[in-house]
Amino acid sequence: MLTIYIKEIRSFLSSLIAYIVIITFLLAIGLFMWIYPDMNIIDIGYANLDPLFFVGPWVFIFLISAITMRSFSEEKKAGTIETLTTSPVSDLGIILGKFFAGVTLVLFALLPTLVYYYSIYELAVPVGNIDSGAIIGSYLGLLFVAASFVAIGMFASAITDNQIVSFIVSAFLCFVMYTSFEYLSQISMFGDVAYVVSWLGMFSHYESISRGVLDTRDAAYFLSLIVLFILLTKTVFGSRKW
C-alpha cells in the first residue's frame, strides 16, 4: 500500500493536475471570502470562515472528481492496469494507497487556508474573538466530506476506462450524496420520515460537525460511507478475475 501511495503522490506532484486543483480551490475560496459583494467577510461584518465551509464542498465535488477520474481509468486506457495488478500488493492495498494519496492532496489544498484563519483571528474585535471550536469542527467536517468524495470518485473511475465518463459519474454521485437527500426531505410526501431521508445525505452530518461538537454518529456515518465505496471499488476492481 505504501508503495502505491508514494507512486500516486509522485504522479500527482509531477503533473499539473495537483497544482491546478490546489490553485483553483484557493482562488475560488478566496473570491468568495474576500472579493464577491455581500458574501465576503468585510461586508458580512463577522469574523468567521463560513464562506470557506459553505463553498468548499461544492468546489470539491468538481475538483476531487477531476483528481480521481484518472485513478483506474487512466491505468486501464494506458494498459498499465495489468502491471499494477501483478505487483505484490493486494487489491485492497492498491485501492487504499490511491485513496490516501487523494486525501493527502486534499490536505495540501486545505493547509494554505489556515492563512484565512489567522486573518480573521486578527480582524476580530477584540483580536482572537472567534469561535475556534466551530472552525476546527468545520475543518474536520470538510475533511470527512472530501474523503467521502475521494472514495466515490475512485469507484466511478473503477467502473469505466473513460476519464470523462468517470468525472461525470463521480460529480453526479457526489452531488446526490451531499445535497439531494436534504432537498428530498423537504418534500411533504415524506412527512414523518423527513429526518431519516435527510440523515442519509452528507449535508446534515457535515452541518452537525460544523457546530463544533463531534458526534460519534456523524463520524460513523462518514466512515461507513467511505468503507462502502471502497468495498464497491474493490468488488468492481476484482471483477477482472471473474
Do 145 and 223 contact (CB within 8 A), yes or no?
Answer: no
User: Residue 83's pLDDT band (boundaries 50, 70, 90)?
Assistant: low
Has this prediction a pTM greater than 0.75?
A: yes
Residues 155-188: pLDDT tens digits?
Answer: 999 888 888 999 999 999 999 999 888 888 877 7
Residues 183-209: pLDDT tens digits?
Answer: 888 777 767 777 788 888 999 899 888
Confidence check: pLDDT of 242 > 60: no
